[in-house]
Amino acid sequence: MGILTDEMKRVVREQRLGYIATVCPDGTPNLSPKGTTGVWDDDHLVFADIRSPQSVRNIEHNPSVEVNVVDPLVRKGYRFKGWGVVHRSDEVFQRGCQMYREMGLTLEIRAVVLIRIERALPVTSPAYDRGDTEELVKDRWRKYWRKLWREVEE
């Protein structure tokens, strides 16, 4: 059995946006959103290098990676720690490009980064610590996002 549970896979597939943390050569962190975050298999996540030169360079220098994927309405998700490998022209790259094409991605993919997950931990809002239900948290954030959209549309 793999590290990634069905629930973890569901959250990643539904959200797609993952925040990828890598380590720069000088030891400082680099955090970058990746809208192509996906599930590869029971032990791996993946993202496409469309505009990720710093993240890719960092992984090639130091493969340590953390991925955070959180549902913004229920304020729950997961943090995945693992090791990334950059693929540019091999079978993994070809399979990844095909996967993204099937999802409707038409942008040029420069590389596919496969991340072997070693550890996965839940992320939850402190609102749950005070007894809020998921429905209450979701309702609060729905109202917030609706208000923001109304302001944008005015």
pLDDT digits (tens, 9 = 90+) for 74-107: 999 999 999 999 999 999 999 999 999 999 999 9
Judge whether 63 lies within some domain: yes
pTM: 0.93
CA dihedral 10, 15, 17, 21 (to 10 degrees): -50
Tell me the C-alpha distance between 130 and 149, whole Å. 28
Tell me the C-alpha distance between 34 and 46, whole Å. 10
Q: Compute the average pLDDT of residues 117-136.
A: 96
Domain encompassing residue 24 = 6-126
Judge whether 134 lies within some domain: no
Judge whether 132 lies within some domain: no
End-to-end CA distance of the chain: 51
> pLDDT category, 20, cuts 50, 70, 90?
very high
Give the number of domains in the chain: 1
pLDDT, residue 128, reads: 95
152 has pLDDT over 90:
no
Numbers of helices and strands, H then E, in the chain: 4, 7
Q: Compute the average pLDDT of residues 50-78.
A: 96
Q: Which of 137, 95, 138 is nearest to 114 (CA)?
A: 95
Look up the CATH number of the domain holding residue 53.
2.30.110.10
Judge whether 19 lies within some domain: yes
Judge whether 154 lies within some domain: no
